[in-house]
Amino acid sequence: MKNIIVTGGAGFIGSHVVRLFVTKYPEYHIINVDKLTYAGNLANLRDVENLPNYTFVKADICDYDCMCQLLRKHEVDGIIHLAAESHVDRSIKDPFTFARTNVMGTLTLLQAAKEYWQAQGWEGKRFYHISTDEVYGALEMTHPEGVDPPFTTKASSAVHHEAYGLKFFTEDLKYQPHSPYSASKASSDHFVRAFHDTYGMPTIVTNCSNNYGPYQFPEKLIPLFINNIKLRKPLPVYGKGENVRDWLYVEDHARAIDLIFHRGNVADTYNIGGFNEWKNIDIIKVLVRTVDRLLGRKEDEDLDLITYVTDRAGHDLRYAIDSSKLQRELGWEPSLQFEEGIEKTVQWYLDNQAWMDNVTSGDYQKYYDDMYLNR
């Protein structure tokens, strides 16, 4: 029996990781530790919440005594650390919250794990920290004159990109964070690596590109715009929409986490990306066409909802992950092409309006109270 804590397991990526581990490894005991802030939602896990190898604990990762007690009580062998504040716009308005959760929360977990594991010996233990590609800063978008950059799914490999002279984030790049969010994640990454170098803790860090898919809180671009298109609300686009992001379907990220947790090299770093770059404006147009088609509307009927707004402060122009190390060493690659993934995602949100209404109304807190406190 492996006893594994997943922090932030009621969030978007975390809930997919919890679901995968609970169902794939019935011999494991998965302890979901989540504070249930605005983006944490136990409704994301209703299909597994009653399984015998799943336990939910409402707790703050910054509470050192609580984390120490949890590690001892459940005899924890591994930690998959996903809990984080992650919305850049919120970090610009409130950097202190990001420093507390992302930096001090990670340090609290590390210290609690060190105190518990060090006396037993490090064998069989693992601290896996999930980070972001934003710690690397921004990439240039230089390409040959008159050649359209390969920002679509046709650009399925780094080799194809390199033919156009484009750069990628690789594991050996220096950190250059540009927002309070990315600065807080960069700091937490450094603490994780320092605990390996100083104490010998078996750690792993991964840096991932933008995720999309079911159960994502609707402050992020894709679920927000799907809902706005459906309701015919404005689609606010920063600047000219030229910013480029690499997109990865969330279940592919969960599969990568599973693989790296079990087979990744201790003290190593792995980049996880979809080799799937899109300009923001292009992905928004795809969302409009897909939602309109699935709702039986005329093609491009809602393109006039696009509204250009003042660009965000410190807005990085391009992120692009090189996942070739992960592919080469562990055999992982994305399972879905973007068109297939976005179709599944749009359909899920259209079919689950009750979930959308629930997470935006705060009723999920009542669900938690009824499920765990009022019985």
DSSP 145-195: TTPPP--STT--SHHHHHTTT---B-TTPPP---SHHHHHHHHHHHHHHHH
User: Residue 128 catalytic?
Assistant: no
| Choice among 77, 85, 134, 252 that is catalytic | 134
State the Cα–Cα distance between residues 302 and 291, nearest whole angstrom: 9
Catalytic-labelled residue, pool 54, 128, 181, 270: 181
From the CB of residue 347, how many other CB atoms can be counted at a distance below 10 Å? 15
Q: Give the 3-state secondary structure of residue 206.
A: strand
133 a catalytic residue: yes
Check if the beta carbon of residue 186 is closer than 8 Å to that of residue 135.
yes
For the question of residue 145 being annotated catalytic, the response is no
Residue 315: CB atoms within 10 A of its CB come to 13
Query: What does the block give as tokens for 358?
Result: 């629930």
**DSSP assignments along 88-132, one per residue:** HHHHHH-HHHHIIIIIIHHHHHHHHHHHHHTTT-STT-EEEEEEE
- CB neighbour burial string for 93-120, b if at least 16 within 10 angstroms, e if fewer: eebeebbebbbbbbbbbbbbbbebbeee
Q: Are 244 and 151 in contact (CB under 8 A)?
A: yes
Q: Which of 85, 133, 251, 292 is catalytic?
A: 133
Q: State whether residue 324 is helix, strand or coil.
A: helix
What does 13-80 look like in DSSP terms, one character per residue? Answer: HHHHHHHHHHHH-TTSEEEEEE---TT--GGGGTTTTT-TTEEEEE--TT-HHHHHHHHHHTT--EEE
Cite the active site residues: 133-134, 181
